[in-house]
């Protein structure tokens, strides 16, 4: 089953430059329905109002971190509970990756990254597109 490129994608980062970069790269990959949130709380609000096929989130945000966002999503009873979640972060220590995996992350990208890496990780989570 092919990936529906019309799916809604939610990107979360407190750094607007990064949101813009990720949105542009997603656009290059054919994903045009991209919503942006600048922190975890805003992301949760958006998740209440729309179905998303993928969440791509930074880790280092305030007041709610990406890891807290992930745990909240995975611990909820909402439809978003099992939405694929990719963490994109500069936190590259082993313990970070383990913590994210244990919290239910689907993949993990270390900044700085390129379009090819993003595509690879999305493919591993969503399937070929």
Partner 1 sequence: MPEKLDIDSLVQEGPFERDEVVRMIDSVVRKVSISGIDNEGAGIVSDIQELGQIIEQMRRDIGRSGVGDIKDKHIPTATDELDAVVGSTEDATGAIMDACEAIQGFVSESGGAVSDKIDAEVIKIFEACSFQDITGQRISKVVGTLKEIEAKVAVILDALGGAIPASSEGAGDATATDSEADLLNGPQMPGEGVSQSDVDKLLSDFD
Q: What is d(CA 79, CA 93) in angstroms, rounded to the nearest whole number?
A: 31
Q: What is d(CA 33, CA 44) in angstroms, rounded to the nearest whole number?
A: 17
Residue with tokens 């090819």: 116
Q: Which of 4, 6, 28, 51 binds partner 1 (CB under 8 A)?
A: 28
Q: Is 90 in the site for partner 1 (CB under 8 A)?
A: yes
CB of 60 to partner 1, least distance (A): 7
Under 8 Å between Cβ of 54 and 84: yes
Q: Is 115 in the site for partner 1 (CB under 8 A)?
A: yes
Query: Residue count at the site for partner 1 (CB under 8 A)?
Result: 15
CB of 112 to partner 1, least distance (A): 5
Q: Is 95 helix (H, G, I), strand (E, B) or coil?
A: helix
The piece of 3-11, 42-50, 100-108, 113-121 that touches partner 1 (CB under 8 A) is 113-121
Q: What is d(CA 114, CA 100) in angstroms, rounded to the nearest whole number?
A: 21
User: What are the residues binding partner 1 (CB under 8 A)?
Assistant: 15, 17-18, 20-21, 24-25, 28, 60, 90, 111-115
């Amino acid at each position: 089953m092919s990936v529906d490129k019309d799916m809604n994608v939610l990107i979360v980062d407190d750094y607007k430059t990064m949101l813009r970069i990720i949105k542009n790269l997603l656009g290059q990959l054919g994903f045009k329905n991209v919503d942006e949130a600048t922190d975890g709380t805003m992301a949760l609000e958006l998740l209440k109002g729309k179905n998303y096929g993928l969440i791509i989130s930074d880790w280092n945000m305030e007041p709610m971190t990406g890891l807290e966002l992930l745990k909240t999503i995975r611990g909820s009873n909402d439809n978003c509970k099992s939405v694929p979640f990719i963490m994109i972060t500069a936190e590259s220590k082993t313990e970070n990756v383990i913590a994210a995996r244990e919290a239910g992350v689907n993949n993990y990208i270390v900044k700085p990254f390129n379009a090819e890496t993003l595509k690879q990780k999305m493919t591993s989570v969503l399937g070929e597109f």
